[in-house]
């Protein structure tokens, strides 16, 4: 159906000495009932092949005592994903664009850490963790004026980790679940007189569960001047709402934190 319905089929093919032959097919369809609307859906299979860390890792106790705490597994298998997506895009008028998407992901055979008998060490990497994630994404772009552009994004993520019946992982999958449930951003750009541009982006991240990192809001601002098409002078301020911000990891006196910063930049394009 020209200009109305399209179907895309494809596949990626990989071979690994442990996992063997792994096809990764995908199908995507799009229906465009009008010039300003598109409804689309996609189904795909993906695989993460084992890496050297999965197979050969040896993490020793510190200070060194010869005790191996974590060990890779030469029989580690590929991690598998089945992905389902549904989306709707619409342009109500020439100035506004909206994009909605729903997703569901089923993961099979994710990495787990299994105790070794009889004392439990080392913890060996196996494929005994399954998971399901689902959520929604929203994006909007608005041309408020010829000189003013606005963009907004929001994503919600729900994750459920489920160790398999034969798993004794002491973490119960918690090491794989450190994601914020809510992430949002608001970006605005102004074209000012004399070839000056002012950009600002407000970023929000929800609480991280493991280890706990409180939700935070941050602001980045950029002021740029382009005297010619080739030259640009800009000043950028990042993380302006807080002097420093922990975005990951355990709270500790020596924890690494993202600090407020400013920098200037000169660009020449040729």
Q: What is the pLDDT of residues 131-154, one digit of tens each?
A: 999 999 999 999 999 999 999 999
* pLDDT greater than 80 at residue 254: no
Report the DSSP beta bridge partners of residue 141.
97, 151
Give the pLDDT score at 29. 97
Per DSSP (E only), the strands in 146-195 are 148-163, 182-192
Closest CA relative to residue 140, chosen from 102, 93, 100, 101: 100
88-123 confidence digits (pLDDT tens): 999 999 999 999 999 999 999 999 999 998 888 899
User: What burial class does residue 239 get, using C-beta atoms within 10 Å of its C-beta: 0-12 exposed, 13-18 middle, 19+ buried?
Assistant: buried
- Domain assignment of residue 127, yes or no: yes
pLDDT band at 209 (very low <50, low <70, confident <90, very high): confident
pLDDT band at 249 (very low <50, low <70, confident <90, very high): confident
- Domain assignment of residue 201, yes or no: yes
Q: pTM to 2 decimals?
A: 0.86
pLDDT band at 204 (very low <50, low <70, confident <90, very high): very high
- Domain assignment of residue 1, yes or no: no
pLDDT band at 198 (very low <50, low <70, confident <90, very high): very high
Cβ of 21: how many Cβ atoms within 10 Å?
A: 8
CA distance 247 to 214: 8
* pLDDT greater than 80 at residue 63: no
Handedness of CA 207, 212, 214, 217 (dihedral sign): negative
pLDDT band at 264 (very low <50, low <70, confident <90, very high): very high
Name the CA dihedral angle for 207, 213, 217, 222, rounded to a multiple of 10 degrees.
-130
Element (H, E) at 56: helix 52-56
CA distance 203 to 246: 14
CA distance 220 to 235: 11
Give the pLDDT score at 138. 98
CB contact set of 109 (below 8 Å; sequence gap of 6+) = 77, 78, 79, 80, 127, 128, 129, 130
Phi, psi of 53 (to 5 degrees): -65, -40
In the block, tokens 């008028």 appear at 93
**Which DSSP symbol is given to 63?**
S
- Domain assignment of residue 163, yes or no: yes
- Domain assignment of residue 59, yes or no: no
- What token pair was written down for 109? 């055979």
Give the pLDDT score at 79. 94
Cβ of 116: how many Cβ atoms within 10 Å?
A: 12
Give the pLDDT score at 177. 78
- Domain assignment of residue 56, yes or no: no
Q: Domain of 148?
A: 79-268
Name the CA dihedral angle for 90, 88, 44, 155, rounded to a multiple of 10 degrees.
100
Average pLDDT over residues 184-211: 95
CATH number of residue 181's parent domain: 2.40.170.20
Please give the tally of structural domains in the chain: 1
- Domain assignment of residue 155, yes or no: yes
pLDDT band at 5 (very low <50, low <70, confident <90, very high): very high
Please answer whether residues 121 and 113 qualify as being in contact, where contact means their C-beta atoms are separated by less than 8 angstroms: no
Average pLDDT, the chain: 92
* pLDDT greater than 90 at residue 255: no
Average pLDDT over residues 166-177: 85
């Amino acid at each position: 159906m020209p200009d109305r319905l399209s179907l895309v089929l494809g596949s990626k093919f990989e071979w690994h000495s442990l996992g063997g032959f792994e096809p990764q097919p995908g199908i995507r369809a799009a229906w465009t009932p009008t010039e300003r609307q598109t409804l689309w859906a996609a189904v795909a299979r993906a695989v993460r092949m084992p890496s050297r860390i999965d197979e050969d890792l040896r993490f020793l106790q510190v200070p060194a005592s010869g005790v191996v705490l974590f060990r890779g597994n030469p029989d580690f298998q590929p991690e598998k994903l089945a992905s389902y997506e549904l989306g709707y895009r619409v342009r109500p008028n020439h100035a506004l664009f909206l994009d909605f998407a729903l997703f569901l992901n089923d993961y099979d055979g994710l990495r787990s850490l299994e105790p070794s008998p009889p004392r439990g060490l080392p913890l060996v990497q196996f494929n005994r963790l399954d998971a399901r994630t689902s959520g929604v994404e929203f994006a909007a772009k608005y041309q408020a004026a010829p000189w003013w552009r606005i963009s907004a994004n929001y994503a919600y993520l729900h994750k459920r980790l489920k160790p398999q019946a034969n798993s004794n992982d002491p973490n119960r999958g918690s090491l794989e679940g450190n994601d914020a449930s809510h992430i949002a951003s608001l970006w605005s750009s102004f074209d000012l007189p004399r070839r000056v541009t002012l950009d600002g982006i407000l970023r929000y991240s929800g609480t991280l569960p493991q280890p706990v990192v409180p939700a935070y809001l941050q602001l980045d601002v950029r002021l740029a001047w382009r005297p010619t098409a080739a030259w640009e002078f800009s000043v950028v301020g990042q993380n302006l709402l807080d002097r420093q911000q922990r975005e990951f990891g355990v709270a500790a006196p020596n924890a690494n934190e993202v600090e407020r910063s400013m920098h200037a930049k000169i660009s020449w394009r040729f």
